[in-house]
Amino acid sequence: MPDPEREDIVIRRAVARDLPRVAELAGELVRMHHEADPSRFFLIDDVERGYAWWLSRELARDGAVVLVACRGDAVVGYAYGTLEDRDWNLLLDDYGAVRDVFVSEGERRTGVGRGLVEAVVAALEALGAPRIVLSTMIANEPAQRLFRRCGFRATMLEMTRDADGGGQARPRRREGS
Residue ranges covered by each domain of the chain: 9-149
* pLDDT 10s digits, 134-160: 999 999 999 999 999 999 999 999 999
pTM: 0.88
CATH class, range 9-149: alpha beta
Q: How many CB atoms within 10 Å of residue 147? A: 21
Above 80 in pLDDT, residue 4?
no
* pLDDT 10s digits, 88-108: 999 999 999 999 999 999 999
Contacts of 59 (CB under 8 A, 6+ apart): 14, 15, 16, 19, 66
